[in-house]
Structure 1
């Protein structure tokens, strides 16, 4: 638990001023942060009564996909976009990198913060937490760290020595807006399929950014850095694969179209993952529950981690397949 919290704090401190983080990366990691904070309350403190409203809602209701409710969620998010920006305007926003690859969208934001505000009627006293959820996360993380370090002074001594970090290089983000009818121009199944691909795409980019950008800037990587990379890539990849498997099962023709566009590369890579990595990643992901006999920390210090090379390669394949399939950069803006 302690290393989950300390690694989160270190990560946010290092990347908070980078242009990519608030635009694209922050939302996947807010989900993970809320998950960890909620589990600390539930498994260690023994009650979730004091979990801040926004964190509890994030933990319980913001997911990559809803079993049986994806069409409703998609229409809810699309309605929010149209209500905010208008029907006959370029009402969907996308973030592209220097190579004009799509790395994120306002659809993902709609699946998190904007949707969070509409999950249920919010009491007046809860409203500030919705708009300042990141501050709530930081406050909770810091409070738990201080309690643990006061109880176990050795932790404070160890955390005082920190690896170095080179400032992340400048990263140009290209902003592109299109009208929703240019992308969501099929039947309900096709439209929901594309919506879910956009969510997965941004999750994949978050993994790539952590492994290829953030990790490469660490100087003399230490225990906390190693722990963070393993912990959060495992959490993210488990969610990404679960969502893809669900698409393959329930959106058969749409998934086949996606796979055919890659000449079967996606299915081959996914089958290899299911054969060699799926069970281990799922096992490690489930250690988010701190009441288990064996937690992620135990796996980590006993060197029972999975080799990330194959997982990261699969993630790049998934990102490339989805990005090229949606081809957002080639969709003309209307206005």
Structure 2
């Protein structure tokens, strides 16, 4: 089992650097043209590729070569000059997090914090070692705001603290200013969809019934919220109803007296799962999906039927039935499969899944069938 997990995690992180499938969008050229097609975000937030129906070869654009790019019906993601902490200037695609007299940005992959001081055109890369220095250097000009106060100097380097300091400065410069006036950056880079999933499954539970194993079948039915980026990244939050029935083989049981016994279990469960993965393939064609996930299962109701006979394993009779509810278990797993687009707003998915329940002998494999509708 450890070798399987090592292989899966290695495969996931190796392929994470490969180019994703992309999303419908546009590129704004320096000459004022708008090029439509499928946009693929590539590495380092400095390059994108555009696939069009007229050419099988993508057009590659550096951040300095375009005015911006965006997903369908979403605001453009713009390039800006960034003065890196290393002292080098370079052009990156960035996202606004909080806009005002002084603004804070992130790189287009939603990492990093970048400061745009009043009247400046160049963003300053903030780090844990330089952010107090840069705040003290650039956030000047308001008598009631002191960037070198002990209170500010004692703040740790987090997005929340950076936003708070800039909010205080902006409200000092303009008492009418309020945060939250910029667009949500996530809406610019993620495409969201609502989906349905169903999954016939097979289970194996080791250690049931005096050390016996139990095999079973069942199914899942549920809803999911899918988010996809133009670099191929995909996150999925799902909630499912989960039915499982398993039974042990007939075995010899010694307490309270020697007898032949078989345990039959029926579970009604609620499952919550979060998966992160990546799509691979050419735009508008079937894509390979690889993902890893974790979640929890809550026991709505479970029933155990015990069958026994003192001497004849072929004549078992029900001796006890008991029920219980409550309790949760955590699971981890992986998904691999194929996504097939249907037009521009719909897609189907077929994937193999595996789940291992932590601190439990339960293992589940299934064939996941899914449908997703994207509003945009």
- Report the TM-score range of the alignment, normalised by the length of the smaller protein: under 0.3
TM-score (norm 1): 0.25
Structure with bigger RCO (C-alpha 8 Å, 6+ apart):
1
Please state which structure has a larger fraction of its residues in helix: 1
